[in-house]
C-alpha cells in the first residue's frame, strides 16, 4: 500500500473508533443513570480490573498489553467523568437548580459544538 492509502485507512479506522467510543459513552451514561437510581458509586475498582483483564485477553498485538491498558485507563477516566457529570446534572435537575440538568450547558468532556 502507498502512504496515502495507509493514511486513508487510518482515517477510516479513526472514524470507526469515534463511533465506537461514542457508543461506549452512551452506555456509560446509561450506567450512570442506573447507579444514581440504585445509589451505587461511580468509581468501582473491581469492575475496572475486569475491563483491563478483558482488554488484555482480547489483545492480539501489535500493541503491548501495558500500552493498551494505558489507553483504556484514559478511556475509563473520561467515561467516569461523563458519569459524574450526568449524575450532577440529574441531582441539579431534581433539586430544581435553574439552568442545570437541561443539557444546554457546554459539556466538560471536550466536545466541540
Task: Quickly list DSSP for the chain.
Answer: --HHHHHHHHHHHHHHHHHHHHHHHHHHHHHHHHHHHHT--S--HHHHHHHHHHHHHH--SSS-HHHHHHHHHHHHHHHHHHHHHHHHHHHHHHHT-TTSSSS-SPPTT----
Q: What is the CATH number of domain 3-94?
A: 1.20.59.10
Give the pLDDT band (50/70/90) at residue 96. confident
What is the pLDDT, as a whole number, of residue 110?
A: 54
User: Is the separation of the CB atoms in 82 and 109 below 8 Å?
Assistant: yes
In degrees and rounded to multiples of 5, residue 47 shows phi and psi of -65, -40
Mean per-residue pLDDT, 41-62: 96
What is the pLDDT, as a whole number, of residue 106?
A: 41
Give the pLDDT band (50/70/90) at residue 102. very low
User: Is the separation of the CB atoms in 79 and 24 below 8 Å?
Assistant: yes
ω into 62 cis (within 30 of 0): yes
Q: Where are the domains of the chain?
A: 3-94
Mean per-residue pLDDT, 52-72: 98
Q: Determine which of 3-7, 17-21, 68-72, 85-89 has the lowest per-residue pLDDT on average.
A: 85-89
Question: Could you read off the pLDDT of 19-33 as tens digits, one per residue?
Answer: 999 999 999 999 988
What does the radius of gyration of the chain's CA atoms come to, in whole angstroms?
A: 17
Amino acid at each position: 500500500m502507498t502512504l496515502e492509502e495507509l493514511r486513508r485507512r487510518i482515517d477510516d479506522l479513526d472514524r470507526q473508533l469515534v463511533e465506537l467510543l461514542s457508543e461506549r459513552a452512551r452506555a456509560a451514561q446509561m450506567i450512570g443513570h442506573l447507579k444514581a437510581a440504585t445509589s451505587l458509586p461511580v468509581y468501582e475498582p473491581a469492575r475496572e480490573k475486569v475491563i483491563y483483564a478483558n482488554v488484555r485477553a482480547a489483545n492480539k498485538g501489535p500493541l503491548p498489553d501495558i500500552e493498551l491498558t494505558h489507553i483504556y485507563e484514559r478511556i475509563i477516566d473520561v467515561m467516569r467523568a461523563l458519569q459524574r457529570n450526568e449524575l450532577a446534572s440529574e441531582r441539579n435537575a431534581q433539586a430544581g437548580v435553574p439552568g442545570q440538568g437541561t443539557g444546554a450547558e457546554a459539556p466538560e468532556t471536550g466536545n466541540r459544538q
